[in-house]
Structure 1
Amino acid sequence: MTAPLSINEITALEDWFGRAPPTKVSFIGVEETGVFMVGTRNGQAIREFRKDCPNSRG
């Protein structure tokens, strides 16, 4: 489990994802294994999630 994202980190995600879903999202984990996928949500979807999530209201 990871620590909850701060409001600043959530805002950064909203900005990074912008108006269109990203064409490539990658996560690098332990021992440099990675996962690559196409994004399906944009920054607006993250803003809506933050608005509806009680734990993201700072």
Structure 2
Amino acid sequence: MRLTEPNRAAVRRDEYARAWVEGHIENVNRALEPHERIERFELVPTEWTPRTTSSRRR
């Protein structure tokens, strides 16, 4: 599913969306060693792709 910019911002603020992501992270973390676990996360309003992240490194 591709979200438009305004929808991404709305999802970022949505408590249900955050809880949904957090639940998935908790499930994944159960199978990981302590040093591999996700400790914190942030929903961002922009899409991260190899193209967009490589331009930020310059």
> Which structure has the larger Rg?
2
Instruction: Output the TM-score relative to the length of structure 1.
Output: 0.26
Structure with the bigger RCO (C-alpha within 8 Å, sep 6+) is: 2
Instruction: Output the TM-score relative to the length of structure 2.
Output: 0.26
Of Structure 1 and Structure 2, the greater strand share is in 1
Of Structure 1 and Structure 2, the greater helix share is in 2
